[in-house]
Amino acid sequence: MALLLRPRPPAGRRVVGGVAGVVLLAGFGVVAVFSAMIIATEPAFDVTRRPGCVATLAAPEPPGSGEPGAGAVWSPTQRANAQAIVDTGRRMGAPARAQWIALATAMQEATLNNLSGGDRDSGGLFQQRPSQGWGTREQITDPEYAAEQFYAHLLALPGWESMPLTEAAQAVQRSAFPDAYAKWEQAAADLLAELGSTAPGDSVESLVCAPAGAGGEVPSAPGAAGAALAFAAEQLGKPYVWGATGPDTYDCSGLTMRAWQAAGVQIPRVSRDQATAGQQIPRGQAQPGDLVFWSSNGSVSGVHHVALYLGNDQIREAPTTGVPVRDRALNWQPGSYDETRVLPFVIRPGAST
């Protein structure tokens, strides 16, 4: 199907040719909503996965309805919008990872539909707002223009390449639902592969798998901590289900509880209770197997997520709906979700308090 794009708006349009040409058009408080949906699977999609990778070459499934996960099926209109996003990224020199983030963002914001309206004065694939400096109504409902603006803001974001998809999207979008983008990771990767990404050096593994981070290989752990991490490694790739404690599905604290139970140490079921179930260690002294916590208010009372520390600033977690158990790097960029929400201490189960 041929992709037809409307003529570019002649006025107020700023074409960005690469990272060096990126210009931020909106200041503090910008609320942008992007709606484009892409899933990628190029011929080299069938890669050897390292532990914790989400990427898989999905087997054919019955037609879906544009929902996250394998088997999602997009209408010709949605696919055309996704193609516009990908083509714009290529023209701007944006790497495949940026295209993947753009697709997942558009999937969440508008399910790859070029909406004429939205919340307040939002519109288009990314639900951008004229009142916030994103362009005119005509411009933000031009898929190519809207994609350019998303890429411009993303590529200008320090450290975006090492951020988890949901954090990078949220840094641009400032959504009221910051974790919602994560559920589109696999769908966006699948669609991107179908549309084809020709950026040199890119692979599906590098897109969907969590960045390895500067720490390099994950060190081994002795004793009970090693047993806990070994159990959690066997759960990699299993689906996240809120309230689940295995053996086939897990939520964050269900995974950590079962991991340490397999090591002979009983800890509470809920993450907030786990934050007091062991020896409190300064975060800078964390060892493999320790529990890392995220809090909405900087204290135990606001704890809402927990993960197993792997060493070298990497974690093993059951993250959120639509994203299976995985390994990923912690993101310590100033202002990032990890940097602002991770508690300054970890808990070492089984140690004297």
| Any domain includes 195 | yes
pTM of the predicted structure, to 2 decimals: 0.53
| Any domain includes 7 | no
Tokens (6 digits) for 284: 């800078």
- What's the domain range around 229? 223-348
Quote the number of domains for the chain: 2
Q: How far apart are CA 221 and CA 209, in angstroms?
A: 23
Residues contacting 296, CB < 8 A, separation 6+: 302, 304, 341
Could you say which of 182, 208, 234 is where a domain stops?
Answer: 208
Residues 204, 227: one domain?
no
Residues 33, 131: one domain?
yes
Residues 236, 319: one domain?
yes
Residues 232, 193: one domain?
no
Residues 129, 248: one domain?
no
| Any domain includes 281 | yes
Residues 227, 176: one domain?
no
Question: Where are the alpha helices (H) located in the chain, listed in sequence order?
Answer: 76-92, 96-110, 137-140, 143-155, 165-173, 185-195, 204-208, 223-234, 252-262, 271-274, 337-341
Could you say which of 208, 237, 266 is where a domain stops?
Answer: 208
Residues 203, 228: one domain?
no
Predicted pLDDT at 342: 94
CATH value at residue 265: 3.90.1720.10
Distances (CA, A) of 306 to 21, 275, 312, 345: 39, 8, 17, 12
Residues 245, 305: one domain?
yes
pLDDT tens for the 353 residues of the chain, in order: 333 333 333 233 333 333 333 333 333 233 333 333 322 222 222 222 333 444 333 333 333 456 654 456 789 999 999 999 999 999 998 988 899 999 999 998 999 999 987 778 889 899 888 888 888 988 989 999 999 999 999 999 888 887 878 888 988 987 766 677 877 887 888 788 888 754 444 444 445 554 433 334 555 688 999 999 999 999 998 888 889 999 999 999 999 999 999 999 999 999 999 999 999 999 999 999 999 999 989 999 999 999 999 998 999 999 877 678 888 888 787 777 788 889 999 999 987 55
Residues 173, 31: one domain?
yes
| Any domain includes 308 | yes
| Any domain includes 6 | no
Could you say which of 140, 173, 208 is where a domain stops?
Answer: 208
Task: Give the DSSP letter of residue 320.
Answer: B
Residues 294, 238: one domain?
yes
Residues 166, 240: one domain?
no
Predicted pLDDT at 71: 52
Residues contacting 149, CB < 8 A, separation 6+: 25, 32, 126, 128, 134, 135, 140
Residues 239, 152: one domain?
no
Please count the residues of the chain: 353
Q: Which burial class, exposed, middle or buried, applies to 240 when counting CB atoms under 10 A from its CB (0-12, 13-18, 19+)? A: buried
| Any domain includes 5 | no
